[in-house]
Structure 1
C-alpha cells in the first residue's frame, strides 16, 4: 500500500521552510550574543535594546504587512518579504557601530513582519479547517527549526570564520528559497481562494475577539520570547559555559522540544475535534499547557546545565503547544479573506510585548539574575488562557424573540443543509438563539410532539461562527432537564452534523428516502433517550 503526501502539504512545507529561514535570520544574533556583546562592549540591558529595535519595527509594520499580503496575494507578498529580510541579514555582517547594529535589526524586523502573516494566509488558502491546527503546528516546526539551526550554525561557522560570516550565509539562504517557492506555487496553486466578500477592515478592527486574541498572545508568548533570546546567555552566565559549548551542547535542544510541542498541540486538537467544533478543543489544549508552564519558575533552581536545559525544553514544548492553537484561532474566526491581517495583529502584539519586555528582562537579569524573570513568566500563560476563555467561549443562550427573526432567516438562508422553514413559525415552539458579541450566532427549534417526546425541527449556525461550540451549546440547552425521547432528521451527506449529534448521545434509528429536496437526498433519523 503506497502513501502519498497531498500536494497541498508539499506547498505548505515550502512555506514552512520560509518560516524556518525567517526565524533563523532573527535568532542568529541570540546565538552570537556573547561574542557580539564583547566586541561592542554591551550590557545585558543594551542587548535588550537590540531585541527591542527588532521587535518595535516588527510590531509597527506587522498590520501593514498583513494588509499588503491580503491585497497583493500570497506569492508576491512573501517573495518581497523574503528578499528584503535576506538583504537586512547580510547587511548585519557589515556593521561597525552599535547604532548601525540597531538600525539593521530594525530593518530586519520591518521585513520579517510579513513572514508569519504570509504563513497564516497560506494555511487558510491551502488547508481545510480540520487540518489548520496541524498547519499551525508545522509552521511552529519551521520557527523551531530556525531557532535550533541558529546556535548550530553559530557554533560551526563563527569559530573559524567569525560571527559576521553567519549573517552572510543566512541571508544567502533566503535568496535561494525564492525561486523554489515560485516554481512550487505555479505547480501547486491553492485549492481555495480567499472569498471575495471578506469582512471589511473596519468591521474586523471593531471585533473585540481579535483584540482578545492579541492580548492573550502577548501573555502566552512571554516565555517564547525569553527562551528564544536568552537561552545561550542563561547557560553562559548561570552555568559558566563558553558560548561555543553552550550552543554546541545545549542551546539547540529547547527549539527541538518546541517542534514536538507544536505538533503535540496541533495533533491533540486534530484528534479531539473529529469534524466537530475546534474552539473548545483549542481551549482545552491551551489550559493544559498553561498549567504545565507553571513549572518554569523552577528553572533557575536546577543544579546543572543539563537539568536546566531539560526544563527549558519542557517550557518551550508547552509554550508552542499553546501558541499553535492561538495562531490558528483567527483563521477559524475570520476566514481566509482577512487571514494575513488577523495573524499580523497577533504578530503585532507579540512585537509590542518584546519591545517593552526585552529591556526589562535585561535590567532584571543585571540586578537580580534570572529567578524573578522565570517566576513572572511562568504565570503569564495562565492569564492568557483566562482571556482566551472569555474571548472565545463568551456565548449566551436565550429564548428567541420577534427581534431575532431577521437574523434567524439570514442564518437559515446561509445554511442550505438546514431545513428551510418560515422563521416566524418557530416562535410557536421552543426556539432558542445563541448570542455572541457580534449578535445572533445560531438557533435551534424544538417541538413537543407528544408527552415525553420531542422533535428537533431545525439547527443552524452562522457560517462565520461555526466550529466554536455554538451548535453543541444550543443542543445541550434544549436537551438539559427534559426526560424523554428526542428525534431529528439530518441529511445523509451532512457528516459533521451527524458527528455532533452522536457526541451528544443520538443514535441512528432509521432512514427516510427522498426526504429532502434541492437537492434530493435521504434523511437519517436519529434518536436520543434522556433520563
Structure 2
C-alpha cells in the first residue's frame, strides 16, 4: 500500500510530541544558561548550583514513577495537558525565586531550622515544580508513540520527537541570553515558560486515541496495529511476533512489573546513562566559563553547534535499528545491536581534556559526538519498553526507569559539584572535569553489557 493511500496522520502526532519535547528542554535549559551570571549575582558555589540542579533531578526522578502511573490511568491526552500546565507554571516561578526564597527562609526559621540562602531556596522550589510537571513528558510521549506507530517505526518516531530536546537546547542559548540582556533574567524565565500554554491548545485539538481519531484513515489504523486477526500475530519485516503489546485495559502494579528482568534492564540502562546527558546539559555552560573564561554571549555558538550535532544523533539513531530489522532481526534485537555500536561513540569524550589545549572547539566537538550518541541511545532505549511490554504498562515501566535515571542524575550532579569545588580550590579544575568525562564515556558500554546479561534474547511479556 502506498503512503498516500495509507495516510500520514501519525506523523502529525509525532510533530506535536516533538514540539512538546522542545518546550520541555527550553524550560529546563534557562537556568543553566544563566547560571554563570546568577552564581556571581547571588554568590553561589559549585555545590550550591549542584544542590539546585539535584533538587530538580531528585523530584523529577520520584515524579517519573508516579507520572507513568498517572498517564496509564487517565490517558495520554489529559496527562500531557496536566504535565505541561504544571511545568510551565514551574518555569515561570523561577522569575519570583527571590521573594519565594524569603518566605521559605522565614517559615523554616520559625521552626528553628537554618535555611540555605534565600536565592538557593527560591530556585530549589521553582526547580521542584518544574520537575514535577516535566516528569510527565516522556511517559506520555512514549505511550503516544506506542499508540500511534507500529513497532518497526517506533524508534524512528521516538528519535524524531526526542530530537526536540536538541532543538530546545539549540534555541535556548540563542534566545535566553538575548532576553536576559534586554529585559532581565526574570523575563527569560517568564517568556520561555509561557510557550507551553500555546502547545496545550494544539494538543487538545489534534490528539485523540487512534480508535477515536476521526482524522485517521482505516488503512492507517490497521497499519498502526499491524495485527493479523487470524493468527494473533504481528508481522514486521521478515519476522513474526506475537501481538503481546496490545492494550488489555487493566492497570498493572509496580510490584508486578519489577518482577521482570526486562524492567530491570531498562531501569539499569536509564540509571547509568541519564546522568551523563543531564551532566552535559546543566554543566556545559559552567565548564566553558570555568575552563575557557567564556561569557554567556560567547557560549551561544558552541552550544548551538553541539546541540545541532545531537539532533542528527537522535534522528539517525532512531533510524539505525531498521538496518538490522530489515535483515530479519526482531525490533528488540535490532535495537540492541544498534545500541552496542552507539555505545562505542561516547569513548571519544576521553580525549576532550587531553586535547582541549588546542582549542575550546576540540572538547565541544568531542562532547558533541558523545551527546549525539546519547540521544541515539535514548531513542532506542525508550523503545525497548514498547517492544516487550503491553501498551497498558508502557508508561508505568518508562516511569520506573525514569525514576532510576533521575536518581542517577542526582548522583552525577552531586559528584560533579563536589569534584569541581575540591579541584577548583586546588587550582586544578581541569582534573575534576577529566574524572567526570571519563565516567560519562564508559557509562554506555557498562549499561549495554548489564542489559544484555539481564535479557540475552528477545522476549515479549504476554501475561500482563
1:23-422 map, 5 Å: 23-96=25-98, 97-186=119-208, 188=215, 191=221, 195-198=247-250, 200-201=252-253, 202-247=255-300, 249-274=301-326, 276-301=329-354, 302=356, 303-368=358-423, 369=429, 370-394=433-457
**Which stretch of the first structure deviates more once superposed, 28-37 or 116-125?**
28-37
- The CA deviation string for residues 307-352 of structure 1, in whole angstroms up to 9 with x for no partner, is 2211111111111111111111111111211111111122111111
Query: Where does structure 1 lack aligned partners over 5 or more consecutive residues?
Result: 396-440, 442-461, 466-531
How far apart, in 2, do the equivalents of 1:327 and 1:206 lie? Answer: 19
How far apart, in 2, do the equivalents of 1:116 and 1:341 lie? Answer: 11
How far apart, in 2, do the equivalents of 1:188 and 1:215 lie? Answer: 39
- Asked whether the 8 Å contact 2:159–2:317 carries over to 1, the reply is yes
- Asked whether the 8 Å contact 2:276–2:412 carries over to 1, the reply is no
Alpha-carbon distance, 1:198 to partner: 4.9
How far apart, in 2, do the equivalents of 1:294 and 1:158 lie? Answer: 36
- Asked whether the 8 Å contact 1:55–1:351 carries over to 2, the reply is yes
How far apart, in 1, do the equivalents of 2:30 and 2:461 lie? Answer: 43
Which structure would you say has the larger Rg? Answer: 1
How far apart, in 2, do the equivalents of 1:339 and 1:82 lie? Answer: 20
**Structure 1 residues 284 and 269: CA distance shift in structure 2, 3 A:** same
Higher strand share: 1
Q: 1:11 aligns with which of 10, 13, 23?
A: 13
Larger RCO, structure (CA 8 Å, separation 6 or more): 2
Alpha-carbon distance, 1:392 to partner: 2.5
- Asked whether the 8 Å contact 2:55–2:127 carries over to 1, the reply is yes
- Asked whether the 8 Å contact 2:162–2:375 carries over to 1, the reply is yes
- Asked whether the 8 Å contact 1:298–1:375 carries over to 2, the reply is no
- Asked whether the 8 Å contact 2:279–2:409 carries over to 1, the reply is no
Aligned residues: 398
TM-score after normalising by structure 2: 0.82
- The CA deviation string for residues 233-283 of structure 1, in whole angstroms up to 9 with x for no partner, is 111111121111112x21122222111111121111123202640122211
- Asked whether the 8 Å contact 1:222–1:380 carries over to 2, the reply is no
* Matched residue SS, 1:300: coil
Give RMSD over aligned pairs: 2.1
**Which stretch of the first structure deviates more once superposed, 376-385 or 2-11?**
2-11
**Structure 1 residues 86 and 330: CA distance shift in structure 2, 3 A:** same
- The CA deviation string for residues 27-47 of structure 1, in whole angstroms up to 9 with x for no partner, is 111111111212221011111
- Asked whether the 8 Å contact 1:283–1:388 carries over to 2, the reply is no
